[in-house]
Amino acid sequence: MGLFNNIPTDPPIEVFHLTELFNQDANPSKVNLGIGVYQDENGRTLTLPVVRSVEQQMAQDLTLTKNYLKGTGLDAFCTACLKLVLGEQSPAIVENRACSIQSLSGTGAIRIGLDFLYRNGFRTAYVSSPTWGNHDSILQTIGFEIRKYRYWSKDKLTLDIDGFIADLEAAPEKSVILLHACAHNPTGCDPSREQWIRISDTCKSRQLFPFFDMAYQGFSSGDLDQDAWAIRYFGHEAKHELFVAQSFAKNFSLYNERIGHLVGVFESRDIIPKFRTQMATIIRRNYSNPPAHGAYIVATILNNPTLYGEWKNNVRAMHERIHSMRQLFYNKLKQLGTPGTWEHIIQQTGMFAYTGLNPRQCQVLIQQHHIYIMSDGRINVCAITQRNADEVAQKFYEVIT
């Protein structure tokens, strides 16, 4: 009798399962609107030109070794990333109250940040309803009590700011509030600046801890600084202590390099050395130290004004394509006279559109029309191209009518 004969089978992870089904589908007009990966007009996920040129340079650099990095990561990377998130003139940086820890992409940053909070006494965490599915899974694995704050109004197809604030007001002190810094996944709907200020005020008065998840800096507005506005407001103006988990999967198109970082902003600089020792312990017990390739790439780009400028242009170009595909898809749905209002598709930002399709309609799209879509109706807008837009819109029309 084997020791593992009776282990349970876990349910598949929806987004990866969807991609597997898509890969197995032999239909030539199939479209994968599921996974959140940037694609160009030809459906390819290319290495960014600026990344490719840095990699070519790195290949010639004999000083680069495969030696271990320290657990908390590459210093040149962490210092540059901190400025990218908090801004060049950040008071928290000037006063040495902020620090960055390299992580295994955004997911890794969320994990080590939450591990730190749990081992320091935080027990309750709030996530938006809905949110990226992995938030709940990570929180649950660590042992947090998970609560939801209202976010998306199904009826109004927009942000339920009053529900959001009311739920924060009812939260116990020292709750962790997971916030999407920009380009909310899955709804594509972000608070306005006035609404962020209300959220900040409520977090302050209720003594809640803001933990920003920033997986899409640059994808909401096309501008890296604008997309960091909420974080900077919370950190500089409102003087919150806060965390930011940043991913470079999407905006550097470095998905499989697993590169990101965790930012901590504290009231006092005295916390930083203690925070670093704890992060080193957490990392040591999990994976000891992070991979270096992505860190070298990002550090080289962020620390060189010319390359930095090129990268900004690459980010802007990705944003513009997504934006124009949003408009194209909206136009097609309107031209067909598809029942319902579709303005939300062009009002939302970032990589996703939250269409409002129900799970049954999504199932029909997959099974009968070879259009692969998440069961909550979220679509990756850049999977829409000039070539497939007519057909995708037509299939939407058919399942809705």
Provide the annotated active-site residues: 132, 213, 250
Q: Which residues of 129-138 are buried (b: 16+ CB within 10 A; e: fewer)?
A: ebbbbbbbeb
Give the three-class secondary structure for 246: strand
DSSP letter at 351 equals: S
Identity of the residue, 260 or 377, whose beta carbon is nearer to ligand PLP in the bound complex: 260
Identity of the residue, 215 or 244, whose beta carbon is nearer to ligand PLP in the bound complex: 215
Please list every residue from 151 through 180 that binds ligand PLP, using CB under 6 A.
180
Residue 161: both structure tokens together: 């700011």
CB of residue 252 vs ligand PLP: minimum separation in angstroms? 10
Q: Which residues contact 25 (CB under 8 A, 6 or more apart)?
A: 370, 372
Distances (CA, A) of 203 to 78, 115, 174: 27, 21, 10
Stretch that binds ligand PLP, among 1-9, 102-110, 152-160, 233-241 (CB under 6 A): 102-110
Side-chain-facing half-sphere of 388: CA atoms under 13 Å:
22
Q: Is 132 in the site for ligand PLP (CB under 6 A)?
A: yes
Q: Is 114 in the site for ligand PLP (CB under 6 A)?
A: no
Q: Is 215 in the site for ligand PLP (CB under 6 A)?
A: yes
Stretch that binds ligand PLP, among 100-108, 137-145, 279-287, 365-373 (CB under 6 A): 100-108
Identity of the residue, 318 or 399, whose beta carbon is nearer to ligand PLP in the bound complex: 318
Residue among 358, 354, 373 nearest 185 (CA): 354
CB of residue 66 vs ligand PLP: minimum separation in angstroms? 23
Stretch that binds ligand PLP, among 59-67, 103-111, 159-167, 225-233 (CB under 6 A): 103-111
CB of residue 269 vs ligand PLP: minimum separation in angstroms? 29
CA 355 to chain centroid: 19
Q: Per the omega criterion (within 30 degrees of 0), is the bond before 191 cis?
A: no
Task: Label the pairing between strands 158-159 and 352-354.
Answer: unpaired
Residue among 318, 203, 209, 212 nearest 261 (CA): 212
Q: Is 314 in the site for ligand PLP (CB under 6 A)?
A: no
Contact (Cβ atoms closer than 8 angstroms) between residue 152 and residue 160: yes
CB of residue 228 vs ligand PLP: minimum separation in angstroms? 15
Q: Is 247 in the site for ligand PLP (CB under 6 A)?
A: yes
Q: Is 260 in the site for ligand PLP (CB under 6 A)?
A: yes
CB of residue 168 vs ligand PLP: minimum separation in angstroms? 19
Q: Is 213 in the site for ligand PLP (CB under 6 A)?
A: yes
| Count of residues touching ligand PLP (by CB under 6 A) | 12
Q: Would you say the C-alpha torsion 84, 148, 32, 255 has a positive or negative sign?
A: positive
Task: Label the pairing between strands 259-265 and 152-153.
Answer: unpaired
Contact (Cβ atoms closer than 8 angstroms) between residue 75 and residue 328: no
Binding mask 22-61 for ligand PLP (x = CB under 6 A): --------------x-------------------------
Please give the residue ranges that form the binding site for ligand PLP (CB under 6 A). 36, 105-107, 132, 180, 185, 213, 215, 247, 249, 260
